[in-house]
């Protein structure tokens, strides 16, 4: 039986960390060892039993160092992988849990690739006794390869649970069941014998998202087609370098306020 072909992007985090020993569950970051995508897959050879996994190079860092520049880079990387490899069934991104929900939320609003994209992390380092890194990784790959995962948007998989990126949040620093969707609950479970989904999100999400990359080279950020920047905002926006993707965001009320009104507000603040 042919195994599904998946891409794995490793960005570091606890799931890729190696501590000083199997009982190093807290200060493992002091060891300074983070596995890249290929190294993490090699540490857990069981991944080969569920899929043909292609490691994709990326920088391995604690997730507190990942920000908007990395979100954009990961977005473009996922779209490039989907475009260049039509046989790809899905993409898994290994990520630290400190900012995993922020990256997942951004991708859920902006990603245009139709294949499943799953973010996965761990609460215990890969070197720890009873680490959750290996099983979380295998389950994330299984979910990404699942046909039922298509059309659900970006997903988050930890502790056998499947969550929607727009709904999930981290609730605990150390507990394995840290990721929760408080208002709606998990989308499904990755059990030992099957992947099971119980519901589908109704809100628009990747790839059917209302956000698009702005066509104008004078814009920066992301914008919704229903949000048109004011002439003032367009005039103030700096130009992007030639050949680089342009991004835009809707103008803030302050940016579109008349100059006289802004000066009066400033005077009131100074008097206070």
CATH number for the domain harbouring residue 93: 3.40.50.1170
Domain boundary among 197, 220, 255: 197
Domain boundary among 197, 228, 259: 197
Residues of the chain above pLDDT 90, percent: 65
Domain co-membership, 172 together with 266: no
Domain co-membership, 46 together with 163: yes
Amino acid 208: pLDDT = 84
Amino acid 120: pLDDT = 98
Domain co-membership, 22 together with 112: yes
Residue 57 lies in a domain: yes
Tracing tokens 């109704």 back to the chain, one arrives at: 202
Residue 202 lies in a domain: no
- As a whole number, the mean pLDDT across the chain is 83
Residue 10 lies in a domain: yes
Domain co-membership, 171 together with 265: no
Domain co-membership, 117 together with 14: yes
Residue 193 lies in a domain: yes
Domain co-membership, 55 together with 100: yes
Residue with the larger pLDDT of the pair 69 and 174: 69
Domain co-membership, 175 together with 229: no
Domain co-membership, 164 together with 265: no
pLDDT digits (tens, 9 = 90+) for 9-29: 999 999 999 999 999 988 888
> Which residue in 11, 14, 97, 209 is the catalytic one?
14
pLDDT digits (tens, 9 = 90+) for 127-181: 999 999 999 999 999 999 999 999 999 999 999 999 999 999 999 988 998 999 9
Domain boundary among 197, 223, 246: 197
Lowest mean pLDDT among 35-44, 60-69, 170-179, 242-251: 242-251
Residue 14 known to be catalytic: yes
Amino acid 202: pLDDT = 84
Q: Is the pLDDT of residue 125 over 70?
A: yes
Domain co-membership, 181 together with 224: no
Q: What is the pTM of this model?
A: 0.79
Residue 265 lies in a domain: yes
Residue 250 lies in a domain: yes
Domain co-membership, 42 together with 105: yes
Residue 204 lies in a domain: no
Domain co-membership, 161 together with 235: no
Q: What is the mean pLDDT of residues 199-209?
A: 85
Amino acid 204: pLDDT = 82
Closest CA to 254 of 246, 245, 263: 263
Q: Are 43 and 126 in contact (CB under 8 A)?
A: yes
Domain co-membership, 131 together with 248: no
Residue with the larger pLDDT of the pair 148 and 213: 148
pLDDT interval class at 221 (50, 70, 90): low
Residue 203 lies in a domain: no
* Domain count across the chain: 2
Domain region containing 227: 212-272
């Amino acid at each position: 039986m042919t195994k599904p072909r998946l891409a794995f992007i490793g960005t570091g985090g606890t799931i890729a960390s190696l501590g000083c020993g199997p009982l190093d569950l807290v200060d493992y970051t002091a060891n300074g060892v983070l596995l890249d995508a290929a190294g993490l897959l090699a540490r857990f050879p069981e991944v080969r039993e569920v899929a043909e996994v292609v490691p994709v190079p990326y920088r391995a860092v604690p997730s507190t160092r990942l920000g908007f520049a990395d979100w954009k880079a990961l977005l473009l990387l996922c779209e490039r992988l989907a475009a260049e490899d039509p046989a790809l069934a899905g993409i898994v991104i290994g990520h630290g849990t400190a900012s995993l929900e922020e990256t997942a939320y951004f991708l859920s609003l902006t990603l245009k690739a139709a294949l499943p994209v799953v973010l996965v992390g761990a609460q215990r380092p890969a070197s720890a006794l009873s680490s959750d890194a290996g099983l979380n990784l295998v389950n994330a790959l299984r979910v990404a390869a699942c046909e039922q995962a298509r059309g659900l948007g970006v997903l988050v998989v930890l502790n056998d649970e499947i969550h929607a990126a727009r709904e999930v949040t981290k609730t605990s620093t150390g507990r394995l069941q840290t990721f929760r969707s408080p208002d709606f609950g998990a989308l499904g479970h990755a059990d030992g014998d099957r992947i099971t989904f119980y519901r589908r999100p109704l809100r628009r999400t990747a790839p059917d998202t209302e956000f698009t990359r702005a066509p104008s080279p004078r814009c920066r950020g992301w914008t919704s087609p229903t949000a048109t920047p004011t002439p003032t905002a367009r005039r103030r926006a700096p130009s992007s370098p030639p050949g680089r993707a342009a991004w835009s965001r809707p103008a803030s009320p302050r940016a579109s306020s008349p100059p006289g009104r802004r000066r009066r507000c400033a005077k009131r603040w100074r008097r206070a």
